[in-house]
Structure 1
Amino acid sequence: MNQDWNAQWRQQALPGLATQPWDLIVIGGGISGAGILREAARRGWRCLLLEQRDFAWGTSSRSSKMVHGGLRYIAKGQWRLTRDSVRERQRLLQEAPGLVEPMSFLMPHYHGQFPGPKLFGGLLSLYDAIAGRRNHRFHDARQLQYLAPGVKEPGLLGGTSFLDALTDDARLVMRVLAEARADGAVALNGLRVTRLLRENGRVCGVAIEDSETGAVLTLDCTVLAVATGAWAERLRPASSRRQLRPLRGSHLLLPGWRLPVAQALSFMHGEDRRPVFVFPWEGATVVGTTDLDHRDDLDQSASISQEELRYLLAACAQQFPQAQIGPGDVLSTWAGVRPVVAGSEGQQGKPSNATREHVLWQEPGCVTLAGGKLTTFRPQAIEVLQACGAMLGREVLDDGAPVLAPVAALDIPGLSRAQTRRLAGRYGRDLPRLAQQVANLGGDCIGASDTLWAELALAAETELVLHLDDLLLRRTRIGLLLAEGAAQYLPAIRRLCQPRLGWDDARWQAEEQRYRLLWQRQHSLPPTTD
């Protein structure tokens, strides 16, 4: 794995891409593409990943941050999806401590409201049976008020607790990519696939354009895997039936002190009986999510609407009436587009009823993954590779090998054990390099966040940052966690990162202006009229 994975390395690597005999090219730098690349690389395939914007730019940095077993899918009869999700949740909890962490969820029950304690407890018994362990418990109303202070009290019967997990989705993508690169894979961002190359009716390569320079290249491959999420139909033959139904999920991020919760609270929204969550994440509190058809241009980043803002604030008012949460309390917002495959009802029916199952579309030389979930990225990747392997004449078995290599124990002077665990989970193989940055820069955090200044320095040097939003919204999350996109810290960030990124003053100023406009459009409160 090249230790200097940055823009300078990228510039030097680009010309050589066209001379390589690639077994597999993966299109899409989210969790699905990263998972496919990782599984191919550890099997010795010569593989390349191309991302048109930035790694985890789309859904994989804008999810609800949950690594969960899909409790709701049991009620819909999606047993295989629930089984795979539960198994993969347990795998990730074991492989990625500090990045994927267990979280207690509470579901309050009220007189006359669905689901009642008995029904929900029965559903959780099935859930636990699939997981092979009992993870739920009922708490009476008095106990629940201690567990979730400020929760709505009238009609409260009690609540049921169960376990799932949370993650930083963008850091999970980076960790999986690092494992793939360690096994010889190549991954690049800022490269847009403009068309697929075909010969004798078979896909045999891609034409790409460098978003940074406008340069064009053609690359040959034996087989191609498309894992572009909501964009999966873009490269399919024009005669193919359109099957994707893009669904948007939006979220609010509040300061932790403004709505303090020690665990996740799951409840049914009073307006449509959809499940809504309020949970702690990175020292802040997340409120989400919505679920509606996304009809805007997919090439423009999704953003929250006024109606979604109202809906999520109504959820806060419903469940935490005394907190009086309003628009002025919102730190930031984010919206992601889920790549859902339309079922028999097509584009009709309630979005929340659409299946989260994935499918594979195949043509000679090309396999496209459509749909799927963050939690199940590994079995999805195996399935894609099995289809690709059939085209290559190679058998691909699911041997159950770890996705993420264990991280050697390391004591970083000046940091607590909890901080070191967090960093080990996020940086994996790069933990020793991060420790050196801490030795040079100290262990101070940026503002009220848990993010160290040393993390910014490491990302600027070695995590292929092409633009300022890559650094502040995905490599780190301070653009979401600090007020106004961390605007007050931009001068200090410039002093630390500008020389590491190799940008001159004009470039930095252009990037800062671009970032501020982007943040205002995508992560602030929506305009008063949509």
Structure 2
Amino acid sequence: MESHARYDLLVVGGGINGAGIARDAAGRGLSVLLCEQHDLASHTSSASTKLIHGGLRYLEYGEFNLVRKALKEREILLRAAPHIIRPLHFVMPHMPGLRPAWLIRAGLFLYDHLAHRERLPGSHGIDLRLHPAGVPLEESIRRGFVYTDGWVDDARLVVLNALDAHERGAMVLTRTQLINATRTKGVWQAQLQRADGTSFEVHATALVNAAGPWVSTLQATLGRTAHHGVRLVKGSHIVTRRLFEHDHAYILQNPDKRIVFAIPYQRHYTLIGTTDLDYQGDPGQVSITDDETRYLCAAVSRYFKHPVTPADVRWSYAGVRPLLAAESAANPSALTRDYSLELDAPPGAAPLAPLLSVFGGKITTYRKLAEEALDQLCHVLKRPAPAWTANAPLPGGDIAQADFEGFAAQFQQQFPWLPADLARRYAHAYGTRAARILAGADSLAGLGRGFAPGLYEAELRYLRDTEWARCAQDVLWRRSKLGLPLAAEALDGLKSLEKLTQKLDAWFASEQQRDPMR
């Protein structure tokens, strides 16, 4: 890339909103540069509860428009990426003394009917004494309700949006930080810095601040005062060994009126979360506290026959959500998950160098947020172009009738030499593009060096050359969760994970030396 390169749009932030905006913009014919100071999805967008949902509990706060918008997006995303997004049934056990059954039924009725459903069934009541979901629960819990939402591999959702943007012409630069940008002669003159300390300059007609938890910091760097603000709220999760055998998730009410999810995760584990705590400090250095761990354990133990203790936690993670600030909301859980787009464009007959800043949002509504952002930008730039993403699959998501199970069975037949577990992981992670990793191979030996069970050099090359992976962390914790089985074991597992990390980092370093231009 040449210094002083010129783009229509410079997008700052490689989380879900930044990647979604870059994708939409590239598809509308704009020249786009997306820069991210670390790796794609390295912060908030890989630390979610991994749900594509309307947000049942938001109805309690009167967020009907947000829930309706999210429910519409749920259907769109299930079609766009059936390999990384799938339906998930949720069981809400009824606990006497908390929300009454009539209120839950009313909420679920609204949830079923606020938006048109095509792919997901409606809610219904169940007798937990007869339903498999009742087996692990306390005997006193006899009734409950079932509804359906979606589960998503959040980090891969970000990567696939960035990949689609790139394939439509966008330049994607990870580990590249915006140092400063000023409006000069009607354009943004931006100084970017690579991880090695070298810097370069680019020019852009418009700039998008999609920096997530750093959105206000970037506003200050740009010398702009925003009308909106964000409140940083930490959400933490724990992972335990699998607590139940069925494939439903639980949504559990608590006496403090918060809810906690217990979700089947990576086949052998249960994901439990989340907390909501105000956060002060560096969003890049967030971690779970002992109090949060105890809170989540207690929330689950209130319902399950076998208590969950901190000793049962095999892994944990935390992230900072940049929620729209509201002085009236003392409780972080009451803060809206909706978003606001703030357009700053100099006045005049032909406004130049606009700045669009993104405040708030949730992963489910990222596509709609991006669509609204581009509608505004195309208008102010006088570059009319129609919205297009509502009916466009993400890379690997072009599966006939969005039938993942049918696709996975066909994929296994096409490559019968692949172990069944590995074939299914490839199908889930890469969809119709999984065959690109296997090109030219007719046995496991053809996939090259094996670094760990199910992790071969062919996949590493694909992740490096196609998905911007640059180190072990990128592979093990974002583009896959292959680090979890090792991290979830005791001391020996941690030693194995450390050795694997060293091997992978050494491989990436050698590849970089062999082919620096990649």
- Please indicate, yes or no, whether the TM-score normalized by the shorter chain is above 0.5: yes
Contact 1:104 1:163 in 2 (8 A): yes
CA distance in 2, matches of 1:453, 1:151: 44
Q: Pick closer, same or farther for the CA change 1:417–1:383 going to 2, 3 Å.
A: farther
Q: Which residue of 2 aligns with 1:502?
A: 510
Q: Which residue of 2 aligns with 1:131?
A: 115
Alignment equivalent of 2:373, drawn from 358, 379, 384: 384
| Cα offset, 1:285, TM superposition | 0.7
Q: Kindly tell me the number of residue pairs found equivalent between the two proteins.
A: 478
**1:170-319 → structure 2 map (5 Å cutoff):** 170-199=155-184, 204-211=188-195, 213-236=196-219, 237=223, 239-240=225-226, 243-256=229-242, 258=243, 260=245, 262-270=247-255, 272-283=256-267, 284-298=269-283, 300-319=284-303
CA distance in 2, matches of 1:460, 1:488: 23
**1:393-404 → structure 2 map (5 Å cutoff):** 393-399=382-388, 400-404=390-394
**TM superposition outliers: structure 1 runs of 4+ over 6 Å:** 443-448, 450-453
Q: Pick closer, same or farther for the CA change 1:239–1:173 going to 2, 3 Å.
A: closer
Q: Pick closer, same or farther for the CA change 1:177–1:504 going to 2, 3 Å.
A: closer
| Cα offset, 1:489, TM superposition | 4.8
Indicate the SS of the match to 1:197. Answer: strand
Q: Pick closer, same or farther for the CA change 1:233–1:315 going to 2, 3 Å.
A: same
Aligned CA RMSD, in angstroms, stands at 2.8
| Cα offset, 1:445, TM superposition | 10
Contact 1:498 1:504 in 2 (8 A): no
Deviations 1:76-99 (A, max 9, x none): 222221112111111111221221
Structure 1 stretches lacking a partner, 5+ long = 1-15, 506-530
CA distance in 1, matches of 2:440, 2:253: 45
Q: Which residue of 1 aligns with 2:342?
A: 361
Identity value in percent:
33
Deviations 1:330-369 (A, max 9, x none): 1110001111011242xx5100001111011222221011
Using structure 1 for the length normalisation, give the TM-score.
0.83
Q: Which residue of 2 aligns with 1:426?
A: 429
Q: Pick closer, same or farther for the CA change 1:148–1:341 going to 2, 3 Å.
A: same
Q: Pick closer, same or farther for the CA change 1:428–1:188 going to 2, 3 Å.
A: farther
CA distance in 1, matches of 2:312, 2:420: 32
| Cα offset, 1:395, TM superposition | 2.4
Q: Pick closer, same or farther for the CA change 1:72–1:56 going to 2, 3 Å.
A: same
Q: Which residue of 2 aligns with 1:91?
A: 76
| Cα offset, 1:233, TM superposition | 0.9
Contact 1:191 1:208 in 2 (8 A): yes
Q: Is it true that 1:342 corresponds to 2:328 in the alignment?
A: no
Indicate the SS of the match to 1:219. Answer: strand
Q: Pick closer, same or farther for the CA change 1:38–1:228 going to 2, 3 Å.
A: same
| Cα offset, 1:175, TM superposition | 1.3
Alignment equivalent of 2:481, drawn from 477, 485, 505: 477
Q: Pick closer, same or farther for the CA change 1:280–1:246 going to 2, 3 Å.
A: same
Q: Pick closer, same or farther for the CA change 1:457–1:323 going to 2, 3 Å.
A: farther
Q: Which residue of 1 aligns with 2:32?
A: 47
Q: Which residue of 1 aligns with 2:348?
A: none
**1:38-187 → structure 2 map (5 Å cutoff):** 38-114=23-99, 116-133=100-117, 134-144=121-131, 146-154=132-140, 156-187=141-172
Deviations 1:90-117 (A, max 9, x none): 1111221221010000000133331x33
Which amino acid is 1:150 matched to? P
Contact 2:228 2:325 in 1 (8 A): no
Structure 2 stretches lacking a partner, 5+ long = 346-353, 400-406, 514-518
| Cα offset, 1:490, TM superposition | 4.9
Greater shift in the superposed pair: 32-41 or 488-497: 488-497
Contact 2:98 2:253 in 1 (8 A): no
Which amino acid is 1:137 matched to? H
Indicate the SS of the match to 1:131. Answer: coil
CA distance in 2, matches of 1:276, 1:353: 15
Indicate the SS of the match to 1:387. Answer: helix
Deviations 1:107-132 (A, max 9, x none): 00133331x33221221111111233
Q: Which residue of 2 aligns with 1:373?
A: 362
Q: Is it true that 1:465 corresponds to 2:455 in the alignment?
A: no
Q: Pick closer, same or farther for the CA change 1:170–1:462 going to 2, 3 Å.
A: same
Indicate the SS of the match to 1:178. Answer: helix
CA distance in 2, matches of 1:101, 1:367: 32
Greater shift in the superposed pair: 479-488 or 272-281: 479-488
Indicate the SS of the match to 2:28. Answer: coil
| Cα offset, 1:307, TM superposition | 1.1
| Cα offset, 1:416, TM superposition | 7.0
